[in-house]
Chain A
Amino acid sequence: MSRNIPLRHLAHARAGDKGNTSCVSVWAYDPGDYALLKEQLTAERIKAAFPCLIQGAVERYELDDLHGLNFVMFDALEGGVNTSLGLDSHGKSWSFLFLGLDIEVPENRVETS
């Protein structure tokens, strides 16, 4: 049996930008959850989760020793900080788009936070 909980309960994240490319790193609070994140937070899932935002490819890099995943999303910031018409033209708030995604965890998982 399993249930879904928001990623925010399992990981912290930070967003950055370079031109029209957005980068979001995701870090497991508990190293024991890293495998779960690695399995479920695939580049394909991120690309599919935000189809209106991410026009280009999504790449994922893994830092297994530090229990972190780095996502690079191309053509994703409406042109970038000097072109976008949006309020958050850097995409600084994108870390929390990620942290709102659901992660499937075992039903009997004990909450740590």
Chain B
Amino acid sequence: MIRLGAGSGFSSDRLQPAIDLARDGELDWLVFETIGERTLAFGHRDRQLDASKGYNPQLAKRMRGVLGHCHANGTRIMSNMGVANVSAAAEVVIGVARELSLKGLKVAALEGDEITDLMAPETVLFDFGGRRLEEVGKPLVGANVYLGIDAMLPAVESGADVVITGRVADPSLFLAPLVNHFGWQTDDWELMGRGTLVGHLMECGMQVTGGYFADPGFKDVSRLADCGYPIADVAEDGSVEISKLAGTGGRVSQRTVKEQLLYEVHDPRKYLTPDVTADFSTVVIDEVERDRVRVSNAGGRKRPDQLKVTVGFDGGYFGEAGVSYAGPGASKRAELARDILVELLDRIPGAQGTYRTDIVGLNAVHARARAATDRQREIVEDVRLRVGMRTVDREAVEMMLWEVEALLCCGPAGGGGYRGQISPSVVTHSTMIDRDMVSPRVTIYEA
């Protein structure tokens, strides 16, 4: 048996429950998964602005919170918080270890996922209609391959207290410790499939313990403010019991596990990772006691020949701005404001087609699926005109913000609460690469 805990499920996930788990969870490993297509792009963007950045912005805070507990409890840490700057992240962990007087603490940094140099103008982007990289027409920011356990195992085997990676497949963060602990053969596809399922269920943190789940009156979850991160007790046959710390809020049930089972999955029979083609279609889910669910019988077949690569491009700028209208006739005034704004924005050269307007409160999020009804327009008390614009032309975005703010005096009656912001934008596409093109390497740091 080995016990793994999740300390985050995404870049900005909550910290205190991770500290609780590090202190009281009796874990073998505490795993922080923090990279998504969005946050990897942010990592590249941050490193472009400051070469010493590009790792997870919460890395130091997380390490200050858990490193002492993990050290005291013999819990090792695994994380992809290196994002786009793994070596800088390793230095941050070492710095925190020194602050905490954890002399001799070892960090293994896995690099080699960044393969920007291997991208060529003729590289084919499978999610861009098979078009070539050069056809994107935007400067390349960075390309990262999803590394798997074969790249990670040397870091795990080094015995380091903390393993820091960049882009690896999320489930591999959990599978690598399992393979190391049980001595599983990495071509035992069934075990790789089962261990990958453990990782898949754990990688989004509280999404399996009651987060991203509650729907009052239909799916009630108690004490979400104190929701616990998940714990996985994994047996040598790859079956797992998912639970959470006693006394924490949230819920682990057949339903929470089912929803996470297919989260971001396409064909449940072919869940592709660098390590295996996992089969989740045969999985059996049993509630063994309250907040403890046994998951077994996943399958697996040979791993894919190629690795997936996320390629980031400089998308220019993303601007967002808004102004609110409230009280009688709010929606009509917001719609008038929108009409004025569209007329003005379309006079900016090149702006047409780079922006979208929404009236928040009038079915903005699902507007493309369902238009708001007249009744919704009448009864709504509070709406907000919102504009989103993405373009390489910063001046156009600045002009958009200005025009939205100008609506306060030049627009309909009672407009208030202007806010606007501009951030750099990285757009991403995907390609595949042969395994033998990639050269992962592990560096050991010591506090």
Binding site for B on A (CB under 8 A): 8-9, 12-14, 16-21, 23, 25, 27, 49-50, 52-53, 59, 61, 63, 65-66, 68, 70, 72, 78-83, 85-88, 90, 92-93, 96-97, 113
Contact = CB atoms under 8 A, between A and B. Distances in A.
Given A19-B37, A19-B430, A83-B427, A66 B264 contact: no
Contacts of B427: 79, 82-83
- Size category, B interface: 35 or more
B265 A70 contact: yes
Nearest to A64: B281
B425 interface: yes
B285 interface: yes
Nearest to A69: B262
Given A70-B265, A87-B360, A81 B37 contact: yes
A12 B255 contact: yes
Interface in B82-123: none
Classify the interface of chain B: helix, strand, loop or mixed. Answer: mixed
Interface string B303-337: 00000000010010000000000000000000000
Given A52-B369, A80-B428, A83-B390, A63 B358 contact: no
27 contacts: A12-B215, A12-B218, A12-B259, A14-B262, A14-B263, A19-B428, A21-B266, A23-B263, A23-B265, A25-B261, A27-B255, A27-B258, A27-B259, A52-B368, A52-B369, A65-B282, A66-B285, A70-B266, A70-B268, A81-B36, A82-B312, A83-B315, A83-B390, A85-B355, A86-B358, A86-B365, A87-B360
Given A82-B41, A113-B218, A18 B355 contact: no
A80 B116 CA distance: 21
A-B pairs with lowest CB-CB distance, top 5: A16-B264, A85-B356, A25-B262, A14-B259, A85-B388
Contact of A86 (B127, B283, B388): B388
